[in-house]
Every structure is written in structure tokens, then in C-alpha cells.
Amino acid sequence: MPTRRNQRKEKTMAQQVRIDQEECLGCEACVEICPAVFALNEAIGKAFVKNESSGEEECIDEAIASCPAGCISKE
């Protein structure tokens, strides 16, 4: 029987996290909130998803809610 933690991780991994690069402001809010998942491409000044499977769902949700451009989504 899966544990509660495993169920949460499976749910996170089943969803794909995306950043709309055209809308990203490069503010790094997502990077500060969830550095295991998001990073900044300094060459273009935009955030990107570096490893969506390494983040907790709550962390990703907080990054989505904190994004001033509203450019982060889960599918």
C-alpha cells in the first residue's frame, strides 16, 4: 500500500510543469520558492523547469501562485 508521501510524489510526477518563456519576467520568485524544480537561465533572463520530479507539489503550487506573470502551469 502506498504511503501518503508516495501518493503525493506520484501526483507531482504525473503532472508536467511548464513555464511560458514569452511571459516570464525573470523575477526568480519560483527559483527562490522551489529551487529543486526551477532555475534561471541567466543568458536570456528567464526561468525554466530543471527537474519537476524533484519538487513537492506544495512547493510547485506556491511557485505558481507567487509568479507575478502567471506563466507557470501544471498539465
Any idea how long the chain is?
A: 75
3-state SS, residue 35: coil
Q: Say if residue 21's pLDDT is above 90.
A: yes
- pLDDT tens-digit readout, 43-72: 999 999 999 887 789 999 999 999 999 999
Alpha-carbon distance of 44 to 59, in angstroms, equals: 24
The mean pLDDT of 3-31, rounded to a whole number, is: 75
Q: Say if residue 24's pLDDT is above 50.
A: yes
Whether domain 4-74 has CATH 3.90.700.10: the reply is no
The mean pLDDT of 4-25, rounded to a whole number, is: 70
Torsion sign (Cα): 71, 72, 74, 75: positive
Give the pLDDT confidence score for residue 9 in this predicted structure. Answer: 46
DSSP bridge partners of 18: 73
Share of the chain above pLDDT 70, in %: 81
The domains of the chain are located at 4-74
The mean pLDDT of 12-40, rounded to a whole number, is: 90
At position 67, the amino acid (one-letter code) is: C
